[in-house]
Structure 1
Amino acid sequence: MAKREVRMWPDPVLTQICAPVDVNAPDVAALIEDLFDTMYDAKGRGLAAPQIGVLQRMFVVDVTWKEGPPEPRVFINPEVASTSDAASEMSEQCLSIPDLPMSVTRPDHIQLRWSTRAGDRLEARFDGILARCILHEFDHLNGKVIFDHQPAPLRADLEARYAP
């Protein structure tokens, strides 16, 4: 449909909690397409609705398209049912905080519930990079960014260096 502008930190929309999505609303399909168009154009692996200024609980991910066939996934009104005790640290980047990778520790796997485009409610386990990407985007729905995973002194330093 359309590529939209990605909101950049410190845009206040990135710190707000998103509202649930009415999957029957007429604009949902267009929003999904806009999220994918914007994500692929920005060379990302995931994008949440607030990153394009829409405060709704929806995000898209595709962790394979850069190295292989695309596997686009849409998550509407997601809920994390559980996470593993085992966790891994890895460098992450964010389309809303470009060119500033940060180390983030996240669970190795998650159990997620979400709605599909058709309104069906699903639940599944996700592992590895897909789990990490889902949690990264899920954070955006709750007004969190990768700065929020840093110790306070480091976070303050990173935010100061990144501020416009």
Structure 2
Amino acid sequence: MSILKIARMGHPVLLRRAAEVEDPTDPEIRRLIMDMAETMLDAGGLGLAAPQVHVPLRLFVWRNGDEVAALINPQIELLGPAESSGWEGCLSIPGLRGSVPRADRVAFRGLDVQGEAVEGEAEGMLARVMQHENDHLDGVLYPMRMTDFSLFGFNEELARAAARESHQ
């Protein structure tokens, strides 16, 4: 397995719609998924989409407890009107965080690493991670989803501001 180079905001691969994975059982796709999992864990991320490692294909990985799960050719459907704003960071936008509105629940379907159909529902943080990673497959970065740029900043500055507020 290998640690892959992560594309940063400004690289064109992050702004394009990714292509469908034609053969999910291709050994190269399996190797890519393993490398993406290792890269995500090494970087301390919760999820990682293939375009973030310069591969314009529709797949992403995420932390699922102590395991790493993958979804190939995902389809994400927002469930219900309930939506919450939450802080997000991104391995492609290092050092920054922003408050992003997202659906509280999603339904998902796609293929797993063996090429088998999977589907289910996710809520809370997992729903947020899936929406964030799926956005990468459509060329969308989380700042494009933000509605209040006063809630966007460098991690250190946001932490300092929060510490000041808690001491007042």
TM-score by length of 1: 0.86
User: Which amino acid is the alignment partner of residue 9 of structure 1?
Assistant: M
Task: Note the C-alpha offset of 1:129.
Answer: 0.3
Aligned twin of 1:161 = none
SS in 2 for 1:117: coil
Q: 1:82 to 1:88 in 2, by over 3 A?
A: closer
Task: Note the C-alpha offset of 1:89.
Answer: 0.5
Per-residue CA deviations over 1:52-94 (Å, capped at 9, x if unaligned) read 0000001000054xxxxx1311110000134221011001000
SS in 2 for 1:108: strand
SS in 1 for 2:27: coil
Which structure shows the higher strand fraction?
2
Q: Please state if 1:109 is matched with 2:108.
A: no
Q: Please state if 1:4 is matched with 2:4.
A: yes
User: 2:86·2:100 contact (CA, 8 Å) conserved in 1?
Assistant: yes
Aligned twin of 1:132 = 128
Runs (4+) of structure 1 moved beyond 3 Å?
none
Q: Structure 1 vs Structure 2: percent identity of aligned residues?
A: 37
Equivalence map 1:48-59=2 (5 Å): 48-59=49-60
Per-residue CA deviations over 1:101-129 (Å, capped at 9, x if unaligned) read 00001011101111011111111010110
Name structure 2 gaps, 5 residues minimum: 154-168
SS in 2 for 1:101: strand
TM-score by length of 2: 0.84
Please tell me whether Structure 1 or Structure 2 has the larger radius of gyration of its CA atoms.
Answer: 2
Which range moved further: 132-141 or 72-81? 72-81
1:91, 1:128 → 2: CA distance?
A: 12
Task: Note the C-alpha offset of 1:149.
Answer: 0.7
User: 2:101·2:146 contact (CA, 8 Å) conserved in 1?
Assistant: no
User: 1:3·1:38 contact (CA, 8 Å) conserved in 2?
Assistant: yes
1:33, 1:47 → 2: CA distance?
A: 12
RMSD value over aligned CA atoms?
1.8
Number of equivalenced pairs:
151
Aligned twin of 1:123 = 119
